[in-house]
Protein backbone atom coordinates (compact mmCIF):
# COMPACT_ATOMS: atom_id res chain seq x y z
CA UNK A 1 0.00 0.00 0.00
CA UNK A 2 1.74 3.17 -1.14
CA UNK A 3 1.94 5.86 1.50
CA UNK A 4 1.27 3.51 4.39
CA UNK A 5 4.37 3.10 6.55
CA UNK A 6 5.99 -0.25 7.22
CA UNK A 7 6.13 -0.72 10.97
CA UNK A 8 8.28 -3.18 12.89
CA UNK A 9 6.35 -4.89 15.68
CA UNK A 10 7.94 -6.91 18.49
CA UNK A 11 5.91 -9.59 20.22
CA UNK A 12 6.58 -11.05 23.65
CA UNK A 13 5.92 -14.12 25.81
CA UNK A 14 3.12 -16.37 24.54
CA UNK A 15 2.38 -14.10 21.57
CA UNK A 16 5.57 -15.36 19.93
CA UNK A 17 4.31 -18.93 19.66
CA UNK A 18 1.71 -18.49 16.88
CA UNK A 19 4.10 -16.30 14.88
CA UNK A 20 7.22 -18.40 15.41
CA UNK A 21 9.26 -15.24 15.84
CA UNK A 22 9.42 -12.18 18.03
CA UNK A 23 9.56 -9.60 15.23
CA UNK A 24 7.24 -8.91 12.29
CA UNK A 25 6.89 -6.03 9.83
CA UNK A 26 3.48 -4.76 8.76
CA UNK A 27 1.99 -1.83 6.91
CA UNK A 28 -0.17 0.28 9.20
CA UNK A 29 -0.76 3.93 10.03
CA UNK A 30 -2.17 3.49 13.52
CA UNK A 31 -2.56 0.82 16.18
CA UNK A 32 -6.06 -0.22 15.08
CA UNK A 33 -4.95 -1.02 11.52
CA UNK A 34 -1.78 -2.61 12.83
CA UNK A 35 -3.69 -5.06 15.03
CA UNK A 36 -6.08 -5.82 12.16
CA UNK A 37 -3.15 -6.54 9.84
CA UNK A 38 -1.49 -8.70 12.46
CA UNK A 39 -4.46 -11.00 13.05
CA UNK A 40 -5.12 -11.19 9.31
CA UNK A 41 -1.59 -12.40 8.66
CA UNK A 42 -1.46 -14.69 11.71
CA UNK A 43 -4.98 -16.03 12.35
CA UNK A 44 -3.71 -18.00 15.34
CA UNK A 45 -3.04 -14.68 17.06
CA UNK A 46 -6.67 -13.59 16.78
CA UNK A 47 -7.92 -15.22 19.96
CA UNK A 48 -4.90 -13.90 21.86
CA UNK A 49 -5.28 -10.29 20.75
CA UNK A 50 -8.97 -9.56 20.18
CA UNK A 51 -12.26 -10.61 21.72
CA UNK A 52 -15.38 -11.99 19.98
CA UNK A 53 -16.41 -8.54 18.81
CA UNK A 54 -12.99 -7.90 17.32
CA UNK A 55 -11.92 -5.39 19.97
CA UNK A 56 -8.41 -5.49 21.44
CA UNK A 57 -8.48 -7.48 24.66
CA UNK A 58 -8.08 -5.42 27.84
CA UNK A 59 -5.24 -7.66 28.93
CA UNK A 60 -3.08 -6.85 25.89
CA UNK A 61 -0.53 -4.07 26.30
CA UNK A 62 0.50 -2.20 23.19
CA UNK A 63 3.43 0.16 23.63
CA UNK A 64 4.67 2.77 21.20
CA UNK A 65 8.15 4.01 22.05
CA UNK A 66 7.75 2.61 25.55
CA UNK A 67 4.41 4.24 26.29
CA UNK A 68 1.25 2.19 26.72
CA UNK A 69 -1.16 3.45 24.04
CA UNK A 70 -3.90 3.62 26.66
CA UNK A 71 -2.07 6.72 27.93
CA UNK A 72 -1.57 8.06 24.38
CA UNK A 73 -4.42 8.03 21.85
CA UNK A 74 -5.53 4.44 22.35
CA UNK A 75 -6.11 2.50 19.14
CA UNK A 76 -5.93 5.75 17.19
CA UNK A 77 -2.31 6.29 18.22
CA UNK A 78 -0.43 6.93 14.96
CA UNK A 79 2.65 4.87 14.10
CA UNK A 80 5.41 5.36 11.56
CA UNK A 81 8.54 3.61 10.38
CA UNK A 82 10.65 5.15 13.14
CA UNK A 83 8.37 4.04 15.97
CA UNK A 84 9.11 1.06 18.22
CA UNK A 85 5.93 -0.94 18.64
CA UNK A 86 5.76 -3.73 21.21
CA UNK A 87 2.84 -5.98 22.13
CA UNK A 88 2.64 -7.91 25.39
CA UNK A 89 0.09 -10.36 26.74
CA UNK A 90 -0.76 -10.05 30.42
CA UNK A 91 2.48 -10.69 32.30
CA UNK A 92 3.39 -10.12 35.91
CA UNK A 93 5.96 -11.14 38.45
CA UNK A 94 8.14 -9.28 40.89
Partner 1 sequence: MQRRILRVNMTNRTATFEEVPSDYRTLGGRGLTSTIVADEVPPDCHPLGPNNKLVFAPGIVTGTSAPSSGRLSVGGKSPLTGGIKESNVGSRFAQTLARLGIQAMIVEGQAKDGYQLLKIGTEGVEFVDGRRWSGKGLYQAYEDLRSEFGEDADICGVGVVSERSATNSGLVFNDPEGRSSRYAGRGGLGAVAASRGLKFIVLDRSELPHVDYEDKETFDRGRQKLVNGLRQHDVTKPDGALASYGTNVLINILNEAGGLPHRNFSTGREELAELVSGERKAELIKQRGGTRPHACHPGCIIRCSEIWTKENGKDPVGVLEYESVWALGPNCGIYDLDLIGELNRACNDLGLDTIEMGNTIAVAMEGGLLEFGDGEGALQLMEEIRNGTPQGLMLMHGAKFAGTALGVTRVPVVKGQAMPAYDPRAVKGMGVTYATTPMGADHTAGYTVAPEIMGVGGKADPLAADKGALSQSLQRATAVIDSAGYCLFTAFAVLDIPEALEGMVETVNGVLGTSLTVDDIDGLGKKILDVERQFNKKAGFTDVDDRLPEFMRLEKLPPHDQVFDVADRQLDQVFEENH
Please give the residue ranges that form the binding site for partner 1 (CB under 8 A). Answer: 12-14, 16, 22, 58-59, 61, 63, 65-68, 70-71, 84, 86, 88-94
Q: Which is nearer to partner 1, 33 or 68 (CB)?
A: 68
- Contact (CB, 8 A) for 7 and 34: yes
Q: Which is nearer to partner 1, 12 or 42 (CB)?
A: 12
* Torsion of the alpha carbons at 31, 37, 39 and 41, rounded to the nearest 10: -150
Q: Which is nearer to partner 1, 42 or 88 (CB)?
A: 88
> Cβ 6 to partner 1, closest distance in Å?
20
Burial annotation 10-29 (CB, 10 A radius, 16+ → b, else e): bbeeebeebbeeeebebebb
> Cβ 1 to partner 1, closest distance in Å?
27
> Cβ 23 to partner 1, closest distance in Å?
11
Amino acid sequence: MPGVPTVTVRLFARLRTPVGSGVVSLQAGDIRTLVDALVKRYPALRSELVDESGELRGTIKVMVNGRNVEFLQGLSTPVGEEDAVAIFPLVAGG
